[in-house]
Amino acid sequence: MDLYLKDSVAVVTGGSKGIGLAIARTHLDEGARVVVASRTSSPGLAELAGPRLVHAPADLTDPDAPARVVARAVEEFGGLDILVNNAGGPPPGVRLPRFSFGAPTDADWLAMFEFNLFSAVRAVRAALPPMLERGGGSIVNVSSGNARQPGPMNVDYSAAKAALNNLTKSLSEEFGPQGIRVNTVSPGPVRTAWWTDDGGAADILAAHVGADRDAVLDEVAPEMMNLTTGRLVDPQEVADMVALLVSPRSASTTGADMVVDGGFLKAV
């Protein structure tokens, strides 16, 4: 299926690994020109190097960074059609999960909202003018199933993602009549570095439940989260949904929350 993304200009935040890298790769495969924002590059991003890819080094918790990234896209490719706010999860230097409301401090809450909400707010603020100049565009905010199904773990993360969902609805209402569609994609647990890095979620849960990390990744985590598919989500599965949402083939989809979660959410 042709998604009609050839020569479109996309900014993907947090695009050096995991979901973001899969999103960047998929956009390139569809013929888009892509600016990836991340603090550092990665071997996976280096493999995508070419004239249609620009890496814009950025710490997205810096209030000025999102605007610089958008400006880079306009400078390099002449405008902006797509913004994917993928950067999120544990702020730099933070390991999750945390197991109770009492675990995060005020500083932890602030850092979580800076990374998962305010960076997206600032990126959208910067992206709207060049999108409006081109007559429209598409914004996808990568949220989480935890926004709609919170629990005692990672309460600050869940709250930040719930706020991102609310923001998305508000933006879709205000800017939809001007040709800008805004949606969320809500993954469940995705097999990324967040889980698999040394000291990451798999190791933390393994210590908590008395299992080894491979068992956590393959069995314990899917069982704990009651995943219908019995496995963690693959990053490419999320990237495919994002690509469909930003495509003109989804021209009547706005204000929606598209779930890619292995059956994590059970509510109607």
- As a whole number of angstroms, the distance between CA 216 and CA 226 comes to 13
Write out pLDDT tens, residues 60-80: 999 999 999 999 999 999 999
86, pLDDT greater than 90: yes
Q: Which of 157, 175, 194, 195 is catalytic?
A: 157
Write out pLDDT tens, residues 44-58: 999 999 999 999 999
Whether cis (ω within 30° of 0) applies to the bond prior to 97 is yes
How wide is the angle at C-alpha 206 spanned by C-alphas 204 and 210, nearest 5°?
Answer: 130
Burial of 131 (0-12, 13-18, 19+ CB in 10 A): buried
pTM over 0.85: yes
Domains of the chain: 9-189+234-260 (3.40.50.720), 191-232 (no CATH)
268, pLDDT greater than 90: no
**4 given a catalytic annotation:** no
Mean pLDDT of all residues in 140-144: 98
Q: Work out the widest C-alpha separation in the chain, in whole angstroms.
A: 56
